[in-house]
Amino acid sequence: MADELKRRLVVGLESSPKYIPFSYKYDEVGSRLQKESCEHVHDYYVTASEVSILQNSAQDIIPNVPNDLTLVDIGSGDCSKTRFVIDELIKRQNTLAFYPLDISGEFLMKAVTKLKEEYGDLLTIHPIVSDFMHELDQLRQIKGTKLILWIGSIFNQSYEDQISTLRLISTIMTDQCQLAFSADITLSRDAVLKAYNDDGGYKRRINLNGISRLNREEGSMIDLDKFSYHLDFIRNTHPEYMSYVRAFIEAKEDVQYPIPGLGIDLTMKKGEHLYLHEGTGLSCKYTLEQLQTIVEKAGLRLAGTLIDKEKHAVFCRCVTK
């Protein structure tokens, strides 16, 4: 595992309160669970809403420029939603250079193999395995006009990280480039709790995959039966904040588990919480005003929004100021 990720894990597990960085749950297992949850959790409205926007309005996400565009997909996953934009761009310009970037390397390479089989010479793919919060150098080298997608990801970072990642993305943009990122605008507590407490337990398994991965890769033997799992929705419509889901495990008794791969012990008192994300929450929800504030704090300009019929999701089109 990359030293930086290990360092962040140690920081999280030694913080007060303790946490596991959100992106750690995205190994091969976590990415597969994420994909399955999108297919099987019908109450998880975000995917359907994002897909409906892309299906109906992919052309409105593409900037109207005379030259060919290069497509960048940050946190691309299996690229299934991206295909709507790929298809639209190939219709316009016949061929397309495509740069998907994801931290989950094996999963990304499988997706790339599938895309290559399907699109052949129409699509030239340059996969990048990297952490979008820290490292976008390879994308900065791309010449020409870029359409950058960041789908299904911003809402899984802390407020500060959302702004700093957007600011980092802005450093790979010229005044011709456009960024389109999706966000969840659902503020109904019932709808949110239904979506994240699914009967099949997909969301729970995804959230707990960080712990299971510590056991698989770092030699720990953390027994999840010694913890209870909790999930809540915190609604906050202040213009300079957001609503969010909070997920944590609580120790049912005092526990101590060595984590040999990290050289530390996980020691928790009865009743202590371990958060399954950094920052206050994950799966954040926004008002449009809150999104506009985040975009502006990152030094970008919100050029337009696309919202689905159910008003669950939005694509924000952003340009440089």
Ligand X SMILES: C[S@@+](CC[C@H](N)C(=O)[O-])C[C@H]1O[C@@H](n2cnc3c(N)ncnc32)[C@H](O)[C@@H]1O
Binding positions for ligand X, rule: CB under 6 A: 23, 26, 31, 34, 75-77, 81, 102-104, 131-133, 151-153
Q: Which residue has the tokens 């899984």?
A: 156
Q: Which residue has the tokens 């997920």?
A: 247
Q: Take residue 188 and report the two structure tokens written for it.
A: 């109904």
The conformation of residue 95, written as its DSSP 8-state character, comes to -
Q: Take residue 303 and report the two structure tokens written for it.
A: 């050029």
How far apart CA 161 and CA 150 sit, in angstroms, is 14
Beta carbon of residue 157, minimum distance to ligand X (angstroms, whole number): 8
Beta carbon of residue 6, minimum distance to ligand X (angstroms, whole number): 14
For residues 76 and 290, which CB has a smaller minimum distance to ligand X in the complex?
76
CA nearest 167: which of 295, 279, 305?
Answer: 295
Beta carbon of residue 209, minimum distance to ligand X (angstroms, whole number): 11
For residues 75 and 281, which CB has a smaller minimum distance to ligand X in the complex?
75
For residues 139 and 262, which CB has a smaller minimum distance to ligand X in the complex?
139
For residues 176 and 197, which CB has a smaller minimum distance to ligand X in the complex?
197
For residues 22 and 227, which CB has a smaller minimum distance to ligand X in the complex?
22
Beta carbon of residue 103, minimum distance to ligand X (angstroms, whole number): 4
Give the ranges where the chain is alpha helix by DSSP (H). Answer: 3-13, 28-40, 45-61, 82-93, 105-119, 137-140, 159-170, 189-196, 202-217, 288-297
Beta carbon of residue 129, minimum distance to ligand X (angstroms, whole number): 8
For residues 11 and 65, which CB has a smaller minimum distance to ligand X in the complex?
11
DSSP letters spanning 7-37:
HHHHHHHTSSSEE--GGGG-SHHHHHHHHHH
For residues 106 and 289, which CB has a smaller minimum distance to ligand X in the complex?
106
CA nearest 34: which of 238, 172, 243, 206?
Answer: 206
Beta carbon of residue 47, minimum distance to ligand X (angstroms, whole number): 7
Answer whether 74's CB lies under 8 Å from 169's CB. yes
Beta carbon of residue 50, minimum distance to ligand X (angstroms, whole number): 7
How far apart CA 208 and CA 308 sit, in angstroms, is 30
How far apart CA 127 and CA 109 sit, in angstroms, is 7
